Amino acid sequence: MTTRGDQILDRALSKVGGKGLFVKELEVAMAEGRADLAVHSLKDVPMDLPDGFELAAVLEREDPRDAFVSNDYASLAELPPGSVVGTSSLRRQSLIAARYPQLVIKPLRGNLDTRLGKLDRGDYAAIILAAAGLKRLGEGARIRSLLEPEHSLPAAGQGAMAIEIMGSRAGAAGLRAALAPLNHRATALAVAAERKVSKVFGGSCQIPLAAYATVDGASMRLRAMVATPDGTRMASAELTGPADAPEELGQQVSDLLDKQDANAILATCRAEADAASDV
């Protein structure tokens, strides 16, 4: 199925309705009985699902990191001042702007082939994409370098895929049981913590927000960040806690961000987004 998010390619997601544009048509298909389940990139799934819908399984995570793709340069640090970098993410934009203010960051939309085509035509000196998408679609060789979480903290759910069902439909219990073996517990716990942070701050395409958790046995480490798109204001926090209480850890990290004026930073982001949409 082709969604609105796939069709609108001339405007930034933050200006046309956000990541939910990739999900809505699939939920309508399930509600109408045309589909039994939907498979999503989890970072595109809104924090609050419509009544009656649920995530029945979260698959094992692929590489959650951001990838640097270029035909001429090996890393962001090698790009000459004024080089144009393409990204569809305000999160990536803010993190790049904070570390490399000499670079020019421009929006990049379209499916993977379209984005790589724009790079190959010379529209950009480099583009930043999710490593998971490149690897899943057989384009891992295009990755020149990977951006470690210390420098480019991933988005909530990045690299993970989820299966959504309509739990209120007849037969949902059997479908839920059939999908249960696909659920990867460590990934599900990690993304639950990440999505809690995003939910607290109203995470969407309009705000640069990152949240990334890793599970080591019974322990979970959660890192999160919010920033302005230009990277000049940023709040970050990190905590370690029990892996079996992901939402509690997400709330604790959110509280730490709040003490660093995260809500004021995000209010600035939303005001700028609203002003841009009125132009």
Domains 4-62+156-273 and 66-147 share a fold: no
Top mean pLDDT of 108-117, 215-224, 225-234, 260-269 is at 215-224
The pLDDT tens digits of the residues spanning 25-72 come to 889 899 999 999 999 999 989 888 999 999 999 999 999 999 999 999
What pLDDT score does 278 carry? 53
Instruction: Quote the pLDDT of residue 229.
Output: 87
- Is 44 in the active site? yes
Q: What is the pLDDT of residue 123?
A: 97
Would you say 109 and 127 are in contact if contact means Cβ atoms under 8 Å apart?
A: no
CATH class, domain 66-147, is: alpha beta
Please write the tens of the pLDDT for every residue from 94-103: 999 999 999 9
Residues 28, 32, 36: CA angle, nearest 5 degrees: 85
Reduced to 3 states (helix: H, G, I; strand: E, B; else coil), residue 163 is strand
**What pLDDT sits at residue 99?**
94
State the pLDDT at residue 273.
67
Catalytic residue chosen out of the listed positions 6, 10, 36, 44: 44
CATH tag, 4-62+156-273: 3.30.160.40
pLDDT for 279 beyond 70: no
Q: Is the pLDDT of residue 180 over 60?
A: yes
Within 8 A by CB and 6+ apart from 226, the residues are 201, 207, 208, 209, 210, 234, 235, 257, 262, 265, 266
Residues near 52 by beta carbon (within 8 Å), at least 6 away in sequence: 31, 166, 167, 168, 169
* pLDDT of 204: 59
What mean pLDDT value characterizes the chain?
90
**Assigned token pair, 259:** 């003490």
CA distance 204 to 13: 9
For residue 143, the model assigns a pLDDT of 98
Report, as an integer, the average pLDDT of 200-229. 90
- CA-closest candidate to residue 65, choices 91, 44, 35: 91
Residue 274 pLDDT > 80:
no
| Average pLDDT of the residues in 251-255 | 97
pLDDT at 114: 92
| Rounded-to-integer distance, Cα 250 and Cα 241, Å | 10
pLDDT of 18 strictly over 70: no
Q: What percent of the chain has pLDDT over 70?
A: 88
Residue extents of the structural domains in the chain:
4-62+156-273, 66-147
In 3D space, the residue among 171, 165, 176, 170 whose CA is nearest the CA of residue 37 turns out to be 165
17 pLDDT band (50/70/90 cuts)? Answer: very low
Q: What integer pLDDT is reported at residue 111 of this predicted model?
A: 86
Q: Model's pTM, two decimal places?
A: 0.88
